[in-house]
Amino acid sequence: MQFWSGTPFMATTDALAIARMLDEAGYDGVICADHLIYPRNLTSPYPSPAGVPPWHPETAWPDSWIMIGAMSSITRQLRFSNAIYVAPSRPLVAVAKQVATASVISGGRVSLGVGAGWMREEFEVLGQDFRTRGQRLDEMIPALRALWQGGWVSWSGRYYDVPELMLEPHPPAPVPILCGGESEVALRRAARLCDGWVGAAYAWDDAVRYVDKLTALRREYGRDGEPFEIMLALLEIPSADLYRRAEDLGITAVMCAPWMAENVEPSDQQGCRAAIERFAETVIAQCR
């Protein structure tokens, strides 16, 4: 079982200190979340019963790949990914360049967690078509793999047409691509095209339901024999037994934030370090 943590909703500079602590304590990875802007007039419905985002407009959403580059430079073994990166809101070649550069800088310690996104305003400010975001993401996934091969590369598809070119530096090894989202379309995208799935936080029974669904879809697509990552958070009392059961189920990585469980603010570095180390000693060490 892998143990990952995250950086959302903390001060941008606090995330760097937290990453160093996680690395020193033997955690496996850190995920970055993604939003480009918060528009003055937000009309896009947030995918929740309330229909509005649960954060304030002033909330900081630092660029994922700049943060990953910074965190990788001050850590040794920690890996990095996204939950999630709204890839189709950006141009294909720009995404390929950012991820490839982060992979090289980190020594191959990155994966890409993608999602279709929900905020139309983010797409419009970058000149990307919101209506075709799902179809373009389906094409973007194999296109990115093609552009990361090194040497002269190209891509020709329905939505993207990249003439033969050099895109350097290219990743030192294939970059795993994971998909987020809970809709039927997103789960099928993960099972059909991706190396894994990134979920949110779930009660045990809901986690079982998503794992079973993904297992069935991978079997449907003839991919049930291939390696597949499943990363999510569990809304249960943390314990070594819980995470052993999760691993037996097919979950490969769990997201945790030990300082939040102890009501410690990320700005309290001493308190965060103590919480991170306690969780590592009482839970992580018992799972390895």
- Cis peptide bond prior to 258, omega within 30° of 0: no
CA atoms of 198 and 108, how far apart (whole Å): 19
Distance between first and last Cα of the chain: 8
- pLDDT for 7 equals 87
CA atoms of 116 and 47, how far apart (whole Å): 12
Q: What single DSSP character describes residue 163?
A: E
In tens, the pLDDT along 165-214 reads 999 999 999 999 999 999 999 999 999 999 999 999 999 999 999 999 99
In tens, the pLDDT along 118-165 reads 999 999 999 999 999 999 999 999 999 999 999 999 999 999 999 999
pTM of the model: 0.96
Query: What residue spans of 55-159 are helical by DSSP H?
Result: 64-73, 92-106, 120-125, 133-147
Q: Are 221 and 191 in contact (CB under 8 A)?
A: yes
pLDDT of residue 288 exceeding 90? no
The count of other CB atoms within 10 Å of the CB of residue 161 is 11
Sorting pLDDT into bands at 50, 70 and 90, what band is 8?
confident
In tens, the pLDDT along 91-103 reads 999 999 999 999 9
Q: Which CATH number fits domain 2-287: 3.40.50.2300, 3.20.20.30, 1.10.540.10, 3.20.110.20?
A: 3.20.20.30
In tens, the pLDDT along 212-263 reads 999 999 999 999 999 999 999 999 999 999 999 999 999 999 999 999 999 9
